[in-house]
Chain A
Amino acid sequence: MTKSNSHFTDLMITKDISGNADFIFGVDMDRMAIDNSAYSALIADMADVAKRQIAANSEILSFNIVRRQVKKELSLNSLGSPQKPEVFSDETISHQVLGSVGEMSEVPLSISGKTSGIKYLTASDMGLSKQTAGTYQYELSISTVCGFIPTVNKLLKKLYRTSNDVDDYLALLDIPDNYDSNKQKSKISIRAAKTDEMSKTYVDAISYFQNLKNIDEEYKRASSLIASRSASKESIGIFQKRLNTVIDKVERLISKTGTGATPSGVANKPANSGLPNASTMEIKQSFSNTISVENKDNKFVDYFKGKGKVGGGLNVYSSSEVRNSKPETIYLEAPMTSLESLEARGVTFVINPIVESTAIDTSPQEMISSKKYIDSSATTVGGLLSDDLSPIDLSEASVASLVSTVDISAAVSSMAPKLSSVNSFQAPADKITKVMPKEITTGAMTKEAPAMTQPRTMVLVASQASEPASCSTKSSESMLKSPEWKPLEEVSGEKGAVMLCKQEGELSDVANGFFLMEMK
């Protein structure tokens, strides 16, 4: 069985200073194991304790994270509207990034001081920095053995054993002269440890079907019926009757599975022993977030220069390091001017100073009369691509002979904002000057676009509107999407709490854009 599901948070992915990918995602393992079980309908009626136990007994057979290059392709939905711009294409090859869950580190993430039941896992893709270009997407595949049958079998075995113990207990009280009916005391009884174990088994079984208010109180309550110092034959009888009711409930549950697992069949079979009917499930999760190998403008912003590690998942910084962090722009290469950017795209300009007195080469092959193309006769002769148009290699053309530098300046200026690598461009009347940025190597980041959102550090916190919640198998999506990002200044946390942060509002790429903050 393969199912897609919504038991995962988004993949939060960033690059470290070496270009490796560090990522983190949250997964509700318990709910995923339950919702994807073949017996999810039966499990839905069970109590939270049972759901947790079933999840705990679900065994991970395989765990894989792969990376695949994606390309921007416009895919259309059934209504013809564009949907995801980046899609896996068949020709891309998957590269395994992680081969077992043990290669991921669990982060004890605190979201507003609450534990939501979501397990946050982080790791690094050390292979990304070896890629020369492209945008990549990650996919997770998990294969697990459903824990339902092992859990129920284990429970039933314990109940049967307790039932036998109760029979023995009552038989003990039936020994002549052992039990005083008036005082409700027996001379020979069984150990308190045994009655405690029996009552625990009973209450644990009950807790699989009812969410108990206080399980410790229930242990005591059940124990009061059978503990030798307080028990009467009648109270032991009541315990036995209640125990049988639970056994009946579990037996009926097994019969509903249709697996052929029978009470007699499970009684002598150890739990988790390769049950023939144990179902496996395959879960695939393609994370929609992608990461590009190339850095925008060949630079990135580093808020923690000289701090942090390479590999091993998201970096961890102390809260004081985070609050005192300063952005520094790191240039991977000297930034290109507008013309260099154009040259990088295959357009060559040869700049000749305009000298009005310079004689223009008027050789016949280069003299082009435009008259017939632009005057009133143009319509009759054809357009500019008329066959008799003399060929001109524009890449080698003397630009100055065609247009003035003023025109070039105007043309390039209009293009400049659209060119991602353009830093600045100035074109005086008689020459073009490259203006280098003020800080070529490193230095405090300047405001590149004051009109844009101010760069700031955001912290993942629980949404006030939606509490995380329940073990209900219905509302997993809302629970996973309930956290929200809040500015660092608005967030406080207990000492030792680990919080997930991100840098927001930068126009450039940010190294370690997602990171963990430990409250000091």
Chain B
Amino acid sequence: MTCKLSPIISVDSVELDVSPYVKVSVVIKGAFSDFLKDEELSKYIRAVCVLSIYDPDSQEVSNSVEAVLESKAHWKDTEWYKNARGWDAYLRAEKVLPTDSAVFDIDLSDIVRAGEVITQDDKVSWNKTYLSYFTYIQVNTQQMAEDFNIAIADEYKGMAGDYETGVIMIGGVVVDSDERSFNVRDLREVVEEEPVDGGSCSP
């Protein structure tokens, strides 16, 4: 059986804070969106936003986030981004109640460093990182089954709708407005030229 939830979470704006902290404002689109407002049901439904600093061009991980979501691994494991092999170093997620103006506040400070100074943990710099998002609506079917005393197969423990994805920045540079459907407020401080031995620049 294929179960598909119609609402899609679209990103309206992204705010890149000074520290590695991101605020993602979303809007929920689709016929099912009114249904999400039902208080009885809404407690089982969550809007999920996953931020990824994994640069697919680096090919450090054999799989891609898209491939994981396509395989519906998140249906079986609702917190796949925490447990899946190797993804913990690249992904951070937040779940919120799906409202008209849902905002995700996601702290990336444990995987991204704010300044340019390289420390022992060797995190990627906030001014150089790749950043993309994945959003979807997910139903906690397992909880629902427990509450309503119904049996449900493991592969439907976390039924989810279609996901939406987009790239926010590449190498620390926000993608051009022509290539994205959302606004970006970039609150990060200016990036200084890296010092070169023997001088700074030529006029």
Contact = CB atoms under 8 A, between A and B. Distances in A.
A229 B183 contact: yes
A295 interface: no
Contacts of A471: 199-203
Interface in B29-81: none
Contacts of B123: none
Interface string B111-154: 00000000000000000000000000000000000000000000
A51 interface: yes
B201 A211 contact: yes
Nearest to A230: B183
Given A212-B190, A221-B188, A470 B199 contact: yes
B187 interface: yes
A431 interface: no
Contact of A203 (B190, B192, B198, B202): B190
B13 interface: yes
A341 interface: no
A470 B197 CA distance: 10
B186 A221 contact: yes
Interface in B156-193: 173-174, 183-188, 190-193
Contact of A231 (B185, B198, B200): B185
Contacts of A184: 13, 25
Contacts of A203: 190
A117 B192 contact: no
A213 interface: yes
A472 B184 contact: no
Residue with the greatest number of chain A CB neighbours at <10 A, chosen from B190, B194, B200, B201: B190
B114 to A, nearest CB: 15
Interface in A180-211: 182-184, 203, 206, 210-211
Contacts of B192: 210-213
A200 B105 CA distance: 30
A263 to B, nearest CB: 23
B107 interface: no
A225 B187 contact: yes
A224 B194 contact: no
Query: Does more than half of chain A's interface fall in helix, strand or loop, or is it mixed?
Result: loop
Contacts of B193: 211-213
A225 B191 contact: no
A128 to B, nearest CB: 34
Contact of B173 (A51, A117, A217, A475): A217
Interface in A398-436: none
A470 B185 contact: no
A238 B188 CA distance: 11
A184 B101 CA distance: 10
Given A212-B193, A217-B191, A117 B183 contact: no
A125 interface: no
A229 B12 CA distance: 11
Contacts of B94: none
A220 B191 contact: no
A469 B203 CA distance: 9
A79 to B, nearest CB: 34
B191 A213 contact: yes
A52 B196 CA distance: 19
Given A206-B190, A210-B192, A220 B174 contact: yes
Contacts of A221: 174, 186, 188, 190
B186 A116 contact: no
Contacts of A469: 198-199, 201-202
A209 to B, nearest CB: 10
A19 interface: no
A230 B190 contact: no
A117 B192 CA distance: 22
B83 to A, nearest CB: 35
Given A225-B187, A471-B200, 11 more contacts: A48-B201, A206-B190, A212-B191, A212-B192, A213-B193, A220-B186, A224-B183, A235-B15, A470-B198, A470-B201, A472-B200
21 contacts: A30-B203, A116-B202, A206-B190, A210-B190, A212-B190, A213-B193, A213-B194, A214-B173, A214-B191, A218-B190, A220-B186, A224-B186, A225-B185, A230-B185, A235-B15, A235-B187, A467-B198, A468-B202, A469-B201, A470-B199, A471-B203
Interface of B: 13, 15, 25, 101, 173-174, 183-188, 190-194, 196, 198-203
Interface of A: 30-31, 48, 51-52, 55, 115-117, 182-184, 203, 206, 210-214, 217-218, 220-221, 224-225, 229-232, 235, 238, 467-472, 475
